[in-house]
Amino acid sequence: MIAVITGDIINSQHADTEVWITKLKNLLEGWGSAPQIWEIYRGDEFQFKCNINDVFWRFLAIKSLIKSQENLDVRIAIGIGEENFSSEKITESNGTAYVNSGRLLTDLKNDGHTVAIKTSNDSVDRDLNILLKWSSKDFDNWTMATSEIIHEMIMNNDITQEDLAKKFAISQSSISQRLKRANYDLIVETNQYFKKKISEL
């Protein structure tokens, strides 16, 4: 099984495309090569595949990156399933993971939520989607400053609050307050729960 994330940038028409697309490309390039592992298409949509254990952390890395840009957010559909055909271009690959992710993005555009997951197990989907709806009440309201801190924490496991304070030229107590406001410890727990539920598929 693999994970496929299909997403689109919310409010992309109100932002400087060159800035966010460069940052997104740099992030995705760290996870694999285009266009086999990831691709940005139709201006503000993208797709990439990853290991199922990494998918929640990858989602948060993208979410925090995009939310750190003014007025932007991202809509993300996570599909878990098989890959029956692997093309040189991810957008031409096929399997249940791709179908689940692609159809789910259409549903998200219609229902107004910013993230959801579709697997082959309705019970797992129900549990994880309730969790994502609650979590999104936090994620969707991250400020640009909070998003920057969260992104650094996700991308650098070993980074300390002191390191972050130096990087952003603010006090360590300010970093601590932002992480508390963002419920960072709960985010880490949620990632572990996600891995556990998906491993049961």
Domain extent at residue 132: 1-197
Residue range 46-57: average pLDDT? Answer: 97
Which backbone phi and psi does 192 adopt, to 5 degrees? -65, -40
Spatial distance between the Cα atoms of 175 and 171, rounded to a whole number of angstroms: 7
Kindly report, residue by residue over 72-112, the tens digit of the pLDDT: 999 999 999 999 999 999 999 999 999 999 999 999 999 98
Whether residue 131 contacts residue 56, with contact meaning beta carbons closer than 8 Å, is answered with no
Arithmetic mean of pLDDT, 38-55: 96
pTM of the model: 0.96
Number of domains in the chain: 1
C-alpha 100/C-alpha 12 separation (Å) is 24
CATH code (residue 113): 3.30.70.270
Looking at the predicted structure, is the pLDDT value of residue 201 above 90? no
Task: Pinpoint the alpha helices (H) of the chain.
Answer: 17-29, 55-67, 96-111, 122-139, 144-155, 161-168, 172-181, 184-199
Over the Cα atoms of the chain, what is R_g? 16
Average pLDDT, the chain: 95
Which tokens belong to 171? Answer: 């006090």
How do 73-81 and 115-118 pair as beta strands?
parallel
pLDDT tens digits for range 120-179 = 999 999 999 999 999 999 999 999 999 999 999 999 989 999 999 999 999 999 999 999
